[in-house]
Structure 1
Amino acid sequence: MKSIWSESYNIKSKGELKDVNEAEVIIIGGGITGLLTAYMLKEKGVEAVIIDRGKVLQGNTINTTAKITIQHNIIYDKLIKEFGKENASRYALANKLALENYEEIIKKNNIDCEFEIEDAYVYTLDNSKKIEDEYEAAISIGIDAELVDNIELPFSIKKALKFKNQANFNPIKFLNFIAKDLTIYENTTALDIKNDVVITDKGRIKAKSIVVATHFPIINVPGYYFLRMHQEREYVIALKNAQILNGMYIDEKDGGYSFRRYKDYLILGGVSARTGDNQEGGAWDKLRELAKKLYPESIEEYHWSAQDCITSDGIPFIGVYSKDMPNVYVATGFNKWGMTSSMVSSIIISGMITGKEYDFNEIFSPSRFDMTASIKNLAKDGFETTYNFIAQKIRIPMETIDNIKNGEAGIITYEGNKVGVYKTKEGRAYTVSTKCPHLGCEVKWNADDLSWDCPCHGSRFDYRGNFLDSPAIKELKYEK
């Protein structure tokens, strides 16, 4: 499994942290957010040190669909109703500035990353009122939008909303350039933050400012981000010999399909679900069935999956980590719109570190938390967390290792302990604890990615127990 962007990776291997015990800024996380923030700081004359527990850009950044757009599905009607027109306008302005920043950096440095200006469409198969309401909201805050009845996709729609002059690109080619002059240490795991010190498995680094850009924050308290977000996975395939589209398209419904062109490929995504809710698998198969139906001559060249942090109110958390950690900053909760949100994060955080404030900072502030706008999603996330925490404590599995077939996985009881077992197609068994090392919820098997996923907060581990996704910082402990 690899994404279409993997072929473009051209960043020389960096060594692990050594002989560094002080820095002006430490950035934890070597994805697009961490790299862009370091780049923006460098442009302002501030040197930052980036640390990553693995290789840079090998997490969710390399698995994006790479749309740069202020159209974030259906959001502006919601923002106006819950936060007012002024805040909705600020949200749009921040993302518009992000798009402009990409274009400016790419043109200024002549970066060959297939950057293209394209229109973005959100379509509906049955709910035209939802699209019409979003259109009215968008134009009321000055967005260049248009309602249309027909689009290039090979099926009928009820209505679509077009945002003009958005963009897409090859993110790894872009980031190859961004990374080349940055100070990056790989294979260095951040374990904790104490005051102005980042504690890693390779030593301690003191810094004036610290940025947590680890996708899902790794520090639980203060901040309590694990109470305000969950994670979802989405699956993607890249096709040759399919329709070459103009524009980018996304279904307004959760679990619907998205389409975009990259060179002579069609990138088809969708079938999203909460992390930890894919025990039966079949997500890629659903995409393949749709591809066969819509584009019978198409050939699959790549397939991959991505993970996104979903906030309770639909807006990213960007800014000061907590009032108790005023020199620590966070960027998380991008709600499936990581390309624009990562640039927004770099603008806000680099500005805060260097003393520049923007009018839109407050709408993204982690301290903005509004219970009334989020109570429904908070209750749902709270139920999932409670259920899976209790399940680890009291649910007794009935399976034995002999019941688990080759190529499948399950949870068994062995010598009084709950054990997750995966058997390869050849019959070799791999065992892990079922207790997520983050906060103790019971992990579940992901049959598509062959991973153990935590449904509470989205930590993920491969079938050997090796770390894949935060907020966990430890491996999934092996059982004997």
Structure 2
Amino acid sequence: MTENPHVSGSYWLETAPGPDRPALTDDLDVDVAVIGAGIAGLSTAWELARAGRRVAVLEADRVAAGVTGHTTAKLTALHTLIYDKLRRTRGAEGARLYARSQSEALERAAEIADELGVDCDWERRSAYTYARDAGRIDELRAEAAAAHEAGLPASFVTETGLPFAVAGAVKVTGQAQFHPRKYLLALTDDLLARGAHVHEHTTVIGLEEGEPCRLTTDTGARVTARDVVVATHYPVFDRALLFTRLSPRRELVVAGTVPADSDPDGMYITPDEGTRSVRTAPHGADRLLVVTGEHFTPGTGDTRARFQHLSDWAAEHFPDVTLTHAWATQDNDPTDTVPLVGPLHPGAHHTYVATGFGGWGMSGGIMAGRLLTALITGEECAWSGLYDPRRLRSTVREAPSFLKHQATVARHFVGDRLRGSESVESVEPGEGAVVRAGGERLAVYRDEAGHLHALSPRCTHMGCLVAFNAAERAWECPCHGSRFDTDGKVVEGPAIRPLEQREL
């Protein structure tokens, strides 16, 4: 059994750290303010700047350091098993528009990388959705047929480059993979060269819609903008109750070097085994193997055990791997499969949102940039209706997933309050737990020196109780995915306020 590597952080962040950008300290007046500097926000800002708009990007942490900095970084229109479902729920035209929008996003990234001369480890690869269970062959054949009908170069195959046999796979040729940080740091540099404003460590805490819109930030500076884009992965301003249609999902990643002749020569994913995604990247004379999986709801279960399971799987199937990195990522699954990109709410005229990419944010984020730019500049976009957050939800199409998600949230909101609490004395160094002390519940973390850090366990988003992720030393909300460090600072939204400090 290969020892689980220390949760070391993202390989992409380590190998492309990038310069610091200043926090916003002075008021700004721009055409468009983009909240969030992941791939969706930066792609939107770049497209708008290229169209001649004055743009400001406001990021609570660092550019491309959130979900985008922890991705697997596949650029593909093959999104596990989606086209057969789209064909049934959106019709053949809906599936075709989805395939076209995602494929054009991939080619747009290729154009931009070439135009800017970005060395971002760009490689063309075939993408595969595979299964080892022969009982899923009919499902894979149907997916291959639906993807082909939607316009993708898709086929059903039984042979892949993986070091184990599969029952079958959907194969789509001509897809791509890249280094997301190198790509987006180059995009940021070009944004600045075009006169855009990019500010890190600036949390937007207020949005006043109107003509113009006004933003307030935690630095005290204000931004006035004709249009505002909320691209914070999970919307920090949710005036259409999109949280009822988004289910947070966390996944783990392990990575390490393998000899070049162990490269499976493709990008692979299976919905089985708690999801397993495999790709490689350039790494000197060798290849970097990147394995993702073990998906779970934030704040539930033993993350350290899950890291061990994923490490063991990688070592079993790639015996010559030397694991060097381990990190985690987070995605939001829309209850009706398709991302939510467009007006922020039914009455919105100058506010927009991009969310719900369901694990496929690379192509989805670039697609969102093009779609939102078209909406803001008044151009036509063939697939705007497909992604419109205001779309009517069909009972047949969305109700089962919607109700399942709401039941999960309700179970945590009520059930976690009924659960027994540990004692403060039971919390070991490096561990955390929700305990009862002095007549109230506290989120208590004991650091390696034995000092206790106490916080309110109520998530500042909607009040669910957080739980401790010992592998990543973070408090996580199982309802909507907000994450906080051991001092209560927001690591990931939708929460924008820290957990309240408490005294023991």
In structure 2, list runs of 5 or more residues that go unmatched: 1-7
Instruction: Please say which of residues 444-453 and 203-212 is displaced more in the overlay.
Output: 444-453
Structure-2 change in CA distance of 1:316 and 1:254 (3 Å): farther
In structure 1, list runs of 5 or more residues that go unmatched: none
Note if contact 1:445-1:452 (Cα within 8 Å) is conserved in structure 2: yes
CA distance in 1, matches of 2:303, 2:332: 22
**What is the CA deviation profile of residues 23-61 of structure 1, one whole-angstrom value per residue up to 9, with x for unaligned ones?**
111001111211111111111111210111122222111
CA distance in 2, matches of 1:454, 1:371: 29
Shift of 1:425: 4.0
Q: Which residue of 2 aligns with 1:228?
A: 245
Instruction: Pick from 367, 374, 378 the counterpart of residue 398 of structure 2.
Output: 374
CA distance in 2, matches of 1:241, 1:323: 50
Shift of 1:235: 0.6
CA distance in 2, matches of 1:141, 1:176: 33
Q: Which residue of 2 aligns with 1:151?
A: 160
State yes or no: 1:93 paired with 2:100.
yes
Query: Match for 1:47: what amino acid?
Result: R
Q: Which residue of 1 aligns with 2:202?
A: 188
Shift of 1:11: 3.1
Shift of 1:162: 0.3
CA distance in 2, matches of 1:25, 1:169: 28
Shift of 1:10: 4.8
Q: Report the identity percentage.
A: 31
Note if contact 1:397-1:411 (Cα within 8 Å) is conserved in structure 2: no
CA distance in 2, matches of 1:433, 1:236: 30
Query: Match for 1:35: what amino acid?
Result: L
SS across alignment from 2:304: coil
Q: Which residue of 2 aligns with 1:251?
A: 270
Note if contact 1:254-1:272 (Cα within 8 Å) is conserved in structure 2: no
CA distance in 2, matches of 1:374, 1:447: 34
Name the Cα RMSD after superposition: 1.5
State yes or no: 1:211 paired with 2:235.
no
Shift of 1:396: 5.5
State yes or no: 1:83 paired with 2:123.
no
Instruction: Pick from 197, 217, 232 the counterpart of residue 200 of structure 1.
Output: 217
| TM-score, normalised with respect to structure 2 | 0.92
Give 1:31-42 correspondences, 5 Å limit: 31-42=38-49
CA distance in 2, matches of 1:254, 1:141: 28
Structure-2 change in CA distance of 1:109 and 1:479 (3 Å): same
**What is the CA deviation profile of residues 375-418 of structure 1, one whole-angstrom value per residue up to 9, with x for unaligned ones?**
111111111221222245x4253421112233332211111211
Aligned pairs, how many? Answer: 478
SS across alignment from 1:99: helix
State yes or no: 1:271 paired with 2:294.
yes
Shift of 1:363: 0.5
CA distance in 1, matches of 2:159, 2:452: 52
Shift of 1:122: 0.4
CA distance in 1, matches of 2:206, 2:95: 35
CA distance in 2, matches of 1:297, 1:55: 35
Shift of 1:280: 5.5
SS across alignment from 1:282: helix
Note if contact 2:26-2:222 (Cα within 8 Å) is conserved in structure 1: no
CA distance in 2, matches of 1:397, 1:468: 27
Q: Which residue of 2 aligns with 1:386?
A: 410
SS across alignment from 1:430: strand
Shift of 1:249: 0.4
**What is the CA deviation profile of residues 168-223 of structure 1, one whole-angstrom value per residue up to 9, with x for unaligned ones?**
01111111210012411122111121111112222322210000011100113x21
Note if contact 2:430-2:470 (Cα within 8 Å) is conserved in structure 1: no
Give 1:459-470 correspondences, 5 Å limit: 459-470=482-493
CA distance in 2, matches of 1:223, 1:398: 35
**What is the CA deviation profile of residues 135-159 of structure 1, one whole-angstrom value per residue up to 9, with x for unaligned ones?**
1111222211111112111222110
| TM-score, normalised with respect to structure 1 | 0.96
CA distance in 1, matches of 2:246, 2:432: 28
Query: Match for 1:247: what amino acid?
Result: G
Instruction: Pick from 101, 108, 116 the counterpart of residue 123 of structure 2.
Output: 116
SS across alignment from 1:250: strand
SS across alignment from 2:363: helix
State yes or no: 1:168 paired with 2:177.
yes
Note if contact 2:299-2:476 (Cα within 8 Å) is conserved in structure 1: yes
State yes or no: 1:424 paired with 2:459.
no
**What is the CA deviation profile of residues 417-463 of structure 1, one whole-angstrom value per residue up to 9, with x for unaligned ones?**
11112223443322221100000011112232221111111001112
Q: Which residue of 2 aligns with 1:74?
A: 81
Structure-2 change in CA distance of 1:11 and 1:369 (3 Å): farther
CA distance in 2, matches of 1:254, 1:443: 27
